[in-house]
C-alpha cells in the first residue's frame, strides 16, 4: 500500500511539474492571454479525468 501511495504522489508531482513547465514555456513563447487560458482549461480537464 505504501508503494502505491508513493507512486501516486510521484505521479501527481510529475503532472504538476509538467503543467507548470508547459505553462511557463507557453507564457514565454506567446504573450497571448487567450491561448494560455484555453490551454490551462484543457490541461485542468485532462488532470481531472486522470484523478
Q: Give the per-residue pLDDT at 49.
A: 67
Helices (H), 1-51: 2-29, 33-50
pLDDT for residue 45: 76
**pLDDT value for 31:** 67
Question: Quick one: pLDDT at residue 1?
Answer: 57
Question: 1-49 pLDDT, tens per residue?
Answer: 577 677 888 888 888 888 888 888 777 777 666 676 777 888 877 777 6
pTM summary value? 0.43
4-35: buried (b, 16+ CB within 10 Å) or exposed (e) per residue?
A: eeeeeeeeeeeeeeebeeeeeeeeeeeeeeee
Amino acid at each position: 500500500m505504501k508503494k502505491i501511495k508513493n507512486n501516486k504522489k510521484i505521479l501527481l508531482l510529475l503532472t504538476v511539474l509538467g503543467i507548470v513547465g508547459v505553462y511557463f514555456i507557453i507564457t514565454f513563447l506567446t504573450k497571448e492571454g487567450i491561448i494560455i487560458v484555453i490551454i490551462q482549461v484543457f490541461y485542468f480537464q485532462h488532470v481531472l479525468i486522470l484523478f
